Amino acid sequence: MAVTRASITKHTTASSPRPHILYIVEVVHDDDTKTEVPRRYSEFVDLHTSLGGPQTLPPKRILVTSFIPSAWADDKLIAERKEGLSAYLSKLLESPAYASSPALLNFLGSTPSIATTTSDFNLEDALPSTLSRNTALHAMKELERAQSTTPIAAGYYPDWATGTIAPQNVDFSKFDVLLFAFATPNSSNGLNWDSGATSTLQTLVSSAHNSGYDTKVVLSIGGWSGGYWFSQVMNSSNNAAFVQTCVDAVNTYNLDGIDIDWEYPNETGAGNLHSSDDAANLLTFFTSLRSALGSSKIISAAVTDLPWIGSDGNPLTDVSAYAQQMTYANIMNYDVFGSSTTSPGPNAPLGNLCGNSTTPQYSAEAAFSQWTGAGFPAGQLVLGLPLYGYVSQSSTTTLTDFKRPEADKSSANASKDAGASAGPELRAYRQRVLGLAGKQADACPIPAKAGSAGAPPNFLKGAHPRAKQGEQGKGDVERAQDAGDLSSYWGQQIAFNQIVALGALQESSGGTFTQANGYTEGWDNCSDTPYLYDTARTTVVAYDDTYSLGDKASYAKSAGMAGCFTWSLDQDYNYVLQDVIRSNLGLS
């Protein structure tokens, strides 16, 4: 018997394994007989996928994204879906290409709906009144993540980058997300902007959205020197007003989301106001902002290698509630060690690969473990990669903050030092971290020689500082008295493109870079970090190159992270570093 018509006249619910909806499809045959077939919405999705036709289904997640836990709302929303599914079936049956399709005829046959197990329960089928708002938001993110596991490649575009690369000249094919830095909160719960910043932002947004690459532009609020008023605008009296300020910014500038770069809640940072309630207030803010912006906009935050500091002065041990509201947490795994006259260290360690770091909680691997251990899903973590290094006035030839234990330690004392021996635990750790980075553990041997204890590390001093005067473009080359002279950068950050422009590195074939003008290349196996030194100039540069950035990007991908972002795109050299990051994330 041929099928002549099919429509959905009613629906019912089933309780196992969780409450869900069954749409009753009334099938009319050419002899006027009728049958009723119960089908879940997810089965319609499977049919649509198998047919691959031009017809459209009612929007996915119309139920779980409405968040109206009432029976009448359930009925209204379900009625909309029934109407849409009926129209979908009618169009299929009217099409000669699909009316006799075995997949469609089987779908309309008498085979009952397959029982759904708890493990494969599809939240598209759930009753909206059975899901709390938070549960539905979290479920929606998990569904989106399951549908698209492609990592993202993001980058910060500072408003002072116009002298290096104008917003309309950005190669948007290199970036899935651009974070425009910065607007800063003010005492009136509003935003302050640098001169010309809003015009730059408007050009960046229009250029990105018209590029054909679906690049999203997110406004980053704060920065190292821009967070003084965060604690005040986030408190219970001002939270709602600041949420509205962010919503207004999204609407005014056609943004794809908001990034909060608060350095740092419940900490002084650059002399900021702070309170023991900061972390709790931040969660309230994220919750309200998600409600106001809806599910499609990006909500992210720039964070350190450790979760936010709670009211007790310690890192939070459960950040799952934040993850339910946020799209990403952007881990600023850099500035772990700054410049030092006695003991330069790695800017952005991959891991504590010799078991001897003076700050073992600060590395890409540690950050991943600490955030996922506190309940933030790996698929929402974005690993930050620096396109800059630190220049030290030093005559050392090694990075000594990752130091070996003294050779004359007693065995009892040495056993207390994590780096005392390459025991089974350390070997397993190295194998795991380096394996995820696409390297073999034996390719990075543990140094046998002790290093200098040196000065205490200078980490987390300011992850996203504003550029120095005169540092907005590549015109700083003339500051060098001779090729390779980096003395004007002693004690400071230096962009990768400036290391090249000033002659300490030179580009070679294949997009790699080699030592030049008296410098010697070194590699710190304990942190997976390159560095340059010139003892005659008493200059050491710890930085990241194509190899180390590629390793960290590979690690992020293999660990199941959401991707990588860079600070900042204006510090790259002809997109060479961004290309390596994308390649190691598996992106074209």
- pLDDT, residue 53, reads 63
Cα separation of 163 and 172, whole Å? Answer: 18
What would the pLDDT profile of 446-458 be if each residue is shown by its tens digit? Answer: 876 443 333 333 4
Q: Cα dist. 550→170, 306, 381, 436, 586 in Å?
A: 22, 23, 17, 11, 11
Nearest-5° Cα angle at 163, 480 to 271:
85
532 or 130, which is more confident: 532
- What is the token pair recorded at 20? 């869900």
Please tell me the least confidently modeled range out of 120-124, 253-257, 421-425, 527-531.
120-124
207 or 443, which is more confident: 207
- pLDDT, residue 368, reads 95
pLDDT band at residue 154 using 50, 70 and 90 as cut-offs: very high
- pLDDT, residue 244, reads 97
- pLDDT, residue 9, reads 82
- Looking at every residue in the chain, the average pLDDT score rounds to 84
pLDDT at 459 over 50: no
3-state secondary structure (DSSP) of residue 10: strand
Assign 3-class secondary structure to 460-495: CCCCCCCCCCCCCCCHHHHHCCCCCCCHHHCCEEEE
Please tell me the least confidently modeled range out of 104-113, 247-256, 474-483, 511-520.
474-483
Report if pTM > 0.75: no
- pLDDT, residue 146, reads 45
- Residue among 433, 436, 456 at smallest CA distance from 527: 433
Burial 247-276, CB ≥16 within 10 A → b, else e: bebbeebebbbbbbbbbbbbbebeebbbbe
pLDDT over 90 for what percent of the chain? 62
pLDDT band at residue 120 using 50, 70 and 90 as cut-offs: low
- pLDDT, residue 427, reads 87
What would the pLDDT profile of 540-586 be if each residue is shown by its tens digit? Answer: 999 999 999 999 999 999 999 999 999 999 999 999 999 999 999 99
- pLDDT, residue 116, reads 40
Cβ atoms of residues 332 and 303 within 8 Å: yes
**Tokens 């390793």 belong to residue:** 551
Inter-axis angle of helices 239-253 and 197-209, nearest 10: 60
Domains of the chain, CATH where assigned: 3-146 (3.30.1520.10), 153-389+408-477+543-584 (3.20.20.80)
- pLDDT, residue 411, reads 32
In the predicted model, what is the mean pLDDT of residues 155-172?
A: 97
What would the pLDDT profile of 312-342 be if each residue is shown by its tens digit? Answer: 999 999 999 999 999 999 999 999 999 999 8
What would the pLDDT profile of 341-378 be if each residue is shown by its tens digit? Answer: 988 999 999 999 999 898 899 999 999 999 999 999 99
- What is the token pair recorded at 459? 């980490």
Burial 313-345, CB ≥16 within 10 A → b, else e: eebbeebeebbbbbbbbbbbbbbbbbbbbebbb
Cβ atoms of residues 349 and 386 within 8 Å: no
**DSSP assignment string, 547-569:** HHHHHHHHHHHHTT--EEEEE-G
- pLDDT, residue 275, reads 97
pLDDT at 221 over 80: yes
